[in-house]
Amino acid sequence: MKIGELAKRGGLTAHTLRFYEKKQLLVPQKSALNQYRDYTADDLATAQFIKRCKASGFSLEDTAALLQIKDAKDAHTCAEAKSITLAKRADLQAKITELQQMVATLDELAERCCGGAESAEFCSIIADLESRFEECNHDAHH
């Protein structure tokens, strides 16, 4: 099938497919006749594999590694696949923890602020951002 059909069936764009090809994730045959890309049913499956990887939080680089395993299963091990999966899990969990700390900080900021139409002269959010860490720095001197 041509790129437009794969795009439609796979739920992505022709641009994205060409991008994945440039990244060596999904390299189709080319028609000898007109140099149009010629995708197979397997290529569609690969496109869906890539989408699932993305939905699972894998980067394109991770995805490339997973594709290599998929495309040469007996040259790879479960350990490799699980290692990639657990490493990504750890990455995401660290990111979550970082974001949760930010949310906690934002909650503190928001809770103390009236949020009204008053001038920001005495706004606690601005005041906190101006001074909170100064205090920390003072502490750090002791």
Partner DNA sequence: CTTGACCTTAGAGTATACTCTAGGGTTTAT
Partner DNA sequence: ATAAACCCTAGAGTATACTCTAAGGTCAAG
Query: What are the structure tokens assigned to 19, written together?
Result: 């991008």
The stretch among 53-61, 91-99, 101-109, 119-127 that binds DNA (CB under 7 A) is: 53-61
Give the whole-angstrom CA distance, residue 80 versus residue 65: 9
Is residue 27 involved in binding its own copies (CB under 8 A)?
no
State in angstroms the smallest separation of the CB of 41 from DNA.
16
* 109 in Cβ contact with 101 (< 8 Å): no
Give the whole-angstrom CA distance, residue 121 versus residue 130: 12
Give whichever of 59 and 100 is closer to DNA, judged by the CB atom: 59
Indicate the residue type of 80: E
> What does 73 bind: DNA, its own copies, none (CB cut-off 5 to 8 Å by kind)?
its own copies
Is residue 17 involved in binding its own copies (CB under 8 A)?
no
Give whichever of 32 and 55 is closer to its own copies, judged by the CB atom: 55
Work out the end-to-end distance of the chain between its first and last CA atoms, rounded to an integer number of angstroms.
70
Query: What are the structure tokens assigned to 124, written together?
Result: 């606690």
Is residue 59 involved in binding DNA (CB under 7 A)?
yes
67 backbone dihedrals φ, ψ, rounded to 5°: -65, -40
By CB under 8 A, name the one of 22, 33, 35, 79 that touches its own copies.
Answer: 79
Provide the binding-site residues for its own copies, judged by CB under 8 A: 45, 48-49, 51-53, 55-57, 66, 69-70, 73-74, 76-83, 85-86, 88-89, 92-93, 95-96, 99-100, 102-103, 105-107, 109-110, 113-121, 123, 125-126, 129-130, 132-134
